[in-house]
Structure 1
Amino acid sequence: MLANYLIGLREGLEASLIVVILIAYLVKTDRRHLIPRLWVGVGAAILVSLGFGALLTFGPRNLTFEAQEALGGTLSIVAVGFVTWMVFWMASHARGLSGELRGKIDTAADAGRFSLVLVAFLAVGREGLETALFLWAATQAAASSDGSTLQPLLGALLGLLTAVAMGFAFYKGVLKINLSKFFAWTGAILIVVAGGVLAYGVHDLQEAGILPGLNNLAFDVSAQIPPDSFVGTLLKGTLNFSPATTWLEAIAWVAYVVPTMTLFLRKIRGNTAPRPAAASPVSASH
């Protein structure tokens, strides 16, 4: 539940910040009459994201067990790819996001009536589709032993609601936080969560018979950490930890988390390092 709360919080806050930037710029440039078009695009993006989430949830139910596992494993791996790209993209573009969006608004406002709708739809829709896919994959991985997804979905919903409240507080000037540190910490957490989703996806592909080694366990601590115990539930909900992990799952987790986390931390340190002062121009001697 906690992992999905953090996913919903981070992804929802990114989308909320985009909406806040767009609205604030329209207000600042005295173009309030364009705000309804913005909300049309945002609303359409939310509907498409919800529809995509529903398709992921209910679409595979008529498939065979092997087909469901194959589809679930493949989508989990795709979700890890998307969230990894998103984490690094935000680390690289967070500083210039506001200026980039303002430039798109200016271009769209002059282009036509529906251009601003499209800008808002694409900006929020990209975040929404990525969020729907990763939340679905994380929810499947964090589901309890009885198959219930209620707690993971509740965690995601609470995270999204918190993000909307924070976005509104940002717009009103009530809340001020260091967004660079926020995205750095949550990005690192998401990489660990994504590692668990990747391992879960590998396990699905093993159960589908696509990957080998389903019975070759790297470790089995089910006796020490029962899956339905408090500790087991906590580890499953936060880190997608499985007490019985195959060698292929363990290798996939390490091969993803270690290099990805290393590159991400280097990226964050590079962004926060002070830039050298520009050299003073030297006059040419005559």
Structure 2
Amino acid sequence: MLATFLIGLREGLEAALVVGILVAYLKRLDRRDVLPRMWAGVGAAILLALAIGAVLTFGAYALTFQGQEIIGGTLSLVAVGMVTWMIFWMRKAGRTMKSTLQGGVDRALAAGTMWALVLVGFVSVAREGIETTLLLWSMVQSFGDAPSAVMGAALGLAVAVLAGWLLARGAVKLDLSRFFTWSGAFLVIIAAGVLAYAISDLQEAGVFPGPFTSAAPLDAHGVVVVGLAGMPFGWAFDVTAVIRPDSALAVLLQATVGFMPRMSWIQVIAWVLYLAIVGTLFVRGLRRPASQRPVASAVPVPEGTTSVSALASHTPEGAS
């Protein structure tokens, strides 16, 4: 629940801030009459995310085991790619988010059609929704405890909606720059774990060579070799005798750092390389000179015309 709660909280709060900027700008323009169109687009984006989740969940039942593993592994890789792109994209795009969103609203209003503003609301939220759906679906497949994982995500989204509303009302103070920085670091670790799980799925399906394929090195008893002798297609380690795969500790470790009681060499290498490369780039971005780093603010977001500027100053990475 903790891992999916934090994902739901981060992604939900990001979407809430985007919607907050759109609503505040329309109110500033005194165009409350078109708010229902914008909300229709937001609702359509949410329905799309739910529909994708339903198709992935129920559609998998009609597939063979190998088909399920291939689909699961492939979509997990897509989720890792989307999360990685989002972490770095927000660092650059956060500075221009307000102007980009406002420009979209201006063009929609100039077009004078209902669908133009519906599209603005839809596009603004759809990316976060699809990204969240893919990542949560991958994690549910990995944890094997769908009710707890879904409940954690639902709680995270509910808290995000409440926090976004309180921020817009000026009722709470929150340093969003720091929040998105720490949650971004957490997502890097989560993505590394999802990558390792995706490789496990694809190895079980026979797409990648590994312990489940004929490429695996075997000992005299026909058992897949564990340790250095099993490199590169055997098991890197196997501690299932100490940590049961279905135990609470195993689930907690997998949810937080991507650790599994038994991992192949390809899984371990991919996990290490992802953290080394993406983690280094992420930390390097945080160590920019002070003159180039946006100043994070913990000022509450006032309601009314100034809420647009205030919300924009609280976009991810503290960009104004």
Query: Fold-level match, TM-score > 0.5?
Result: yes
Query: Match for residue 94 of structure 2?
Result: 94
SS of the aligned residue for 1:96 comes to helix
Instruction: Tell me if structure 1 keeps the 8 A contact 2:189–2:258.
Output: no
1:142 and 2:139 matched: no
Query: Match for residue 219 of structure 1?
Result: 237
SS of the aligned residue for 1:219 comes to strand
Q: C-alpha displacement at 1:10, in angstroms?
A: 0.7
Instruction: Tell me if structure 2 keeps the 8 A contact 1:91–1:268.
Output: no
Amino acid at match of 1:33: D
Instruction: Tell me if structure 2 keeps the 8 A contact 1:53–1:133.
Output: yes
- Superposed CA offset, 1:158-198 (max 9, x none): 11111111111111111222222111111110010000000
Distance in 1 of aligned mates of 2:273 and 2:10 = 24
Q: C-alpha displacement at 1:221, in angstroms?
A: 1.6
Query: Match for residue 4 of structure 2?
Result: 4
Q: List, as ranges, runs of 4+ consecutive aligned residues in structure 1 with deviation greater than 6 Å.
A: none
Q: C-alpha displacement at 1:265, in angstroms?
A: 1.4
SS of the aligned residue for 2:110 comes to helix
Distance in 1 of aligned mates of 2:262 and 2:41 = 45
Instruction: Tell me if structure 1 keeps the 8 A contact 2:189–2:256.
Output: no
Distance in 2 of aligned mates of 1:159 and 1:218 = 35
Pick the aligned partner of 2:162 from 159, 162, 165. 165
SS of the aligned residue for 1:134 comes to helix
SS of the aligned residue for 1:224 comes to coil
Amino acid at match of 2:280: T
Distance in 2 of aligned mates of 1:157 and 1:238 = 18
Amino acid at match of 1:222: T
- Superposed CA offset, 1:142-165 (max 9, x none): 22xxxx311111111111111111
- Superposed CA offset, 1:219-247 (max 9, x none): 11222222333322321333332110110
Instruction: Tell me if structure 2 keeps the 8 A contact 1:3–1:239.
Output: no
1:39 and 2:56 matched: no
Change (3 A) 1:229 1:138: closer
Distance in 2 of aligned mates of 1:206 and 1:76 = 13
Query: Match for residue 67 of structure 1?
Result: 67
1:268 and 2:281 matched: no
Query: Match for residue 284 of structure 1?
Result: none
Amino acid at match of 1:241: F
Runs of 5+ in structure 2 lacking a partner?
Answer: 212-223, 225-233, 294-320
Distance in 2 of aligned mates of 1:84 and 1:61 = 29
Q: What TM-score does the superposition give when structure 1 sets the normalisation length? A: 0.91
Distance in 1 of aligned mates of 2:53 and 2:77 = 16
Distance in 1 of aligned mates of 2:277 and 2:143 = 24
Instruction: Tell me if structure 2 keeps the 8 A contact 1:188–1:264.
Output: yes
SS of the aligned residue for 1:228 comes to coil
Query: Match for residue 83 of structure 1?
Result: 83
Amino acid at match of 1:257: L
Distance in 2 of aligned mates of 1:157 and 1:134 = 14
Amino acid at match of 2:136: L
RMSD over equivalenced CA pairs, Å = 1.5
Distance in 2 of aligned mates of 1:17 and 1:69 = 36
Q: How many pairs are equivalent?
A: 271
Distance in 2 of aligned mates of 1:137 and 1:172 = 35
Q: C-alpha displacement at 1:213, in angstroms?
A: 1.6
Distance in 2 of aligned mates of 1:136 and 1:34 = 34
Q: C-alpha displacement at 1:120, in angstroms?
A: 0.7
Distance in 2 of aligned mates of 1:81 and 1:159 = 22
Runs of 5+ in structure 1 lacking a partner?
Answer: 277-286
Q: Write out aligned runs for 1:205-284 (5 A).
A: 205-214=202-211, 215=224, 216-270=234-288, 273-275=290-292
Q: Write out aligned runs for 1:151-190 (5 A).
A: 151-190=148-187
Query: Match for residue 124 of structure 1?
Result: 125
Distance in 1 of aligned mates of 2:8 and 2:167 = 18
- Identity between Structure 1 and Structure 2 (%): 52
- Superposed CA offset, 1:228-282 (max 9, x none): 3332232133333211011010011111111101101112322x73149xxxxxx
Q: C-alpha displacement at 1:127, in angstroms?
A: 1.3
